[in-house]
Amino acid sequence: MSPSRFEEFLSKVTSKVKSKEAHGMIKKELTHHLQELSQSFEKRASSKAEAEEKAIQEMGNPYTIGEKLNQLHKPKIDWLLLALFLTIASISFLPLINGVPELSLSSAYFISRQAIWYTLAILVILGLLFFDYRRWKNFWLPFYGIGISLLLCTLLFGREMNGAKRFVSFGDFSFDATVFSLFFLFIAWTGLLTKINTFNSWSKQCLLCFLFWTPIFLYFMLPHFSLTIIYFFSIMTIFTFSHVSKKLAMKVVIANATVTASILFTFAMISFSRGGYFFHRLAAFINPTADPNGDGYIYILVKDVLSQAGWFGNGIFNDLSIHSLPEAHTDFAFPYLVYSLGWVFGIFLCLILLLFVLRISSNAFKTKDLYGRLLVIGGATFIAVPAFWNILMGLGIVPIMGVSLPFISYGGSMLLFYAAILGLVLNVYRRKDIIEPTIVKVK
């Protein structure tokens, strides 16, 4: 065949396609069609040159094809997801209107700080929106190393607050290293699990098990139980959708089941060495009235606050401070909003968050790139797990622990973490029609 003849046709087609990233995929697809047509015409006794010419004529006007492909293969923005994000972002300012009584700071201080954090969050989203996320795919080991290093630094040099180490300080600058470690581990596991079927030897499967459980052990040591739960369920979800072969999946599950018993035993020993703090909190969740002035107090308080909410609440300017509901701007933002604006608003908020997560989840299956799909699935899980846990925690259905409500609870580190995830989700959606498919069925 004459490459120059086809290349001239393809150049005319791609001249109308604005996205240069899509040119390679378009040329590959059209070359395949041209070759098929050319071979078909050759079978009808045409010469090779005539067959190629007929194949090009059969394809039609290259400029018309290019204009149609330009509409099909162009970057897209998920405006619905952005609208949901802005709606949730606006709600995040409501718990700050009355200030934070236990910190004796005005509402203006917290609202201005939240505005600054959201400005930075939007910059993070924009920064991650316009680069090629596939560049991170093969760097899972450095990302994993950074994540583990942050956890070790926190464990060794972190500042302890409320019985746990989270913040690492450099002079006057402090940051929540545990949250950033979670992001790097997320990127690492997403890249690693695109290659999961290469871990087919016993030694590699042991390595995989070690890599999975090491962060969990370090989160336990801090201790940071909420991030442990988020990490565990999110990585397991990514693994489930990683196109792992059934045979390998069974081996990995069996290996991890064996390790689970050891991890639970270690966790029990750590908790016991810390005075049984975790078990006291668990007992308070099961029967809060057994210790109404101790660990059970917060469960009774939250239940009392919600019982006074009513359908339309007590107004955003209310006297909730007399109930001394702690962390109403962070961990208990949901009960506060229900008390202030009523169960109607609470149901609306739950639906908005559910729609937000479902929209992200549906976007995962709109891309045919495996790495991009795993990024979006993982992103949806990293948002869904803390969102549902926080709401259920506020309703008294699950144990209370330090879990913020994504995009609503006050706090810069977690907001930037969720913003980075949203930026990656939007990035994958933006490129879904301009990159070559990489998903193959695993037998």
Residue 282 lies in a domain: yes
Can you give the residue range of the structural domain that contains 13? 3-72
Q: What is the mean pLDDT of the chain?
A: 84
Instruction: Please check the confidence at residue 278 and state whether its pLDDT lies above 70.
Output: no
Comparing 2-16, 164-178, 221-235, which segment has the lowest mean pLDDT? 2-16
Instruction: Please check the confidence at residue 443 and state whether its pLDDT lies above 50.
Output: no
Q: Does one domain contain both 269 and 406?
A: yes
Residue 293 has a pLDDT of: 66
Residue 158 has a pLDDT of: 87
Among 23-37, 111-125, 165-179, the range with the most confident prediction by mean pLDDT is 111-125
Q: Does one domain contain both 163 and 215?
A: yes
Q: Does one domain contain both 203 and 265?
A: yes
271 pLDDT band, cuts 50/70/90, is low
Residue 437 lies in a domain: no
CA distance 373 to 144: 20
Q: What share of the chain is helix, strand, coil (3-state, %, to 5)?
A: 70, 5, 25
Residue 440 lies in a domain: no
Q: CB neighbours of 431 closer than 8 A, spacing ≥ 6?
A: 21, 75, 132, 133, 367, 369, 372
Q: Does one domain contain both 53 and 122?
A: no
The Cβ-side half-sphere exposure at 398, using a 13 Å CA radius, reads 14
CA distance 106 to 97: 9
Q: Does one domain contain both 45 and 160?
A: no
Q: CB neighbours of 167 closer than 8 A, spacing ≥ 6?
A: 154, 158, 159, 161, 174, 175, 176, 177
Q: How confident is the model over 147-153, as a mean pLDDT?
A: 95
DSSP 371-431: HHHHHHHHHHHHHHHHHHHHHHHHTTSS---S---TTTSS-HHHHHHHHHHHHHHHHHHHH
Q: Does one domain contain both 187 and 290?
A: yes
Domain boundary residue, one of 45, 72, 99 = 72
Residue 41 lies in a domain: yes
Residue 387 has a pLDDT of: 96
Residue 442 lies in a domain: no
> For 96, phi and psi rounded to 5 degrees?
-100, -5
Instruction: Please check the confidence at residue 219 and state whether its pLDDT lies above 70.
Output: yes
Q: Does one domain contain both 312 and 368?
A: yes
Instruction: Please check the confidence at residue 414 and state whether its pLDDT lies above 50.
Output: yes
Task: Provide the 3-class DSSP secondary structure of residue 335.
Answer: helix
**Beta-bridge partners for 174:** 169
Residue 37 has a pLDDT of: 80
Q: Which amino acid appears at position 262 of this protein?
A: S
Element (H, E) at 215: helix 202-221
Q: How confident is the model over 27-56, as a mean pLDDT?
A: 77
Domain boundary residue, one of 72, 96, 115 = 72
Instruction: Please check the confidence at residue 442 and state whether its pLDDT lies above 50.
Output: no
Residue 58 lies in a domain: yes
Q: Does one domain contain both 106 and 14?
A: no
Q: Does one domain contain both 87 and 66?
A: no
Structure token digits, residue 207: 């390595």
Q: Does one domain contain both 41 and 183?
A: no
Residue 349 has a pLDDT of: 96
Does residue 290 or residue 379 have the better pLDDT? 379
Q: Does one domain contain both 138 and 45?
A: no
Residue 46 lies in a domain: yes
Comparing 59-68, 107-116, 134-143, 410-419, which segment has the lowest mean pLDDT? 59-68
What percentage of the chain carries pLDDT values higher than 90? 41
Instruction: Please check the confidence at residue 279 and state whether its pLDDT lies above 70.
Output: no
Order the strands of the 164-170 sheet from edge to edge.
159-161, 164-170, 173-176
Element (H, E) at 218: helix 202-221
Provide the domain count of the chain: 2
User: Computed over its alpha carbons, how large is the radius of gyration of the chain?
Assistant: 27
Does residue 171 or residue 249 have the better pLDDT? 249
Q: How confident is the model over 353-381, as a mean pLDDT?
A: 95
Residue 255 lies in a domain: yes
CA distance 271 to 294: 18
Q: How confident is the model over 415-423, as a mean pLDDT?
A: 96
pLDDT digits (tens, 9 = 90+) for 314-355: 888 777 654 577 888 888 999 999 999 999 999 999 999 999
Domain boundary residue, one of 39, 72, 105 = 72
CA distance 70 to 223: 52
In the chain, the N- to C-terminal Cα span, in Å, equals: 35
Q: Does one domain contain both 23 and 95?
A: no
Predicted TM-score of the model (pTM)? 0.86
CA distance 399 to 16: 58
pLDDT digits (tens, 9 = 90+) for 394-404: 888 888 888 89
Task: Provide the 3-class DSSP secondary structure of residue 163.
Answer: coil
CB 155 within 8 A of CB 210: no
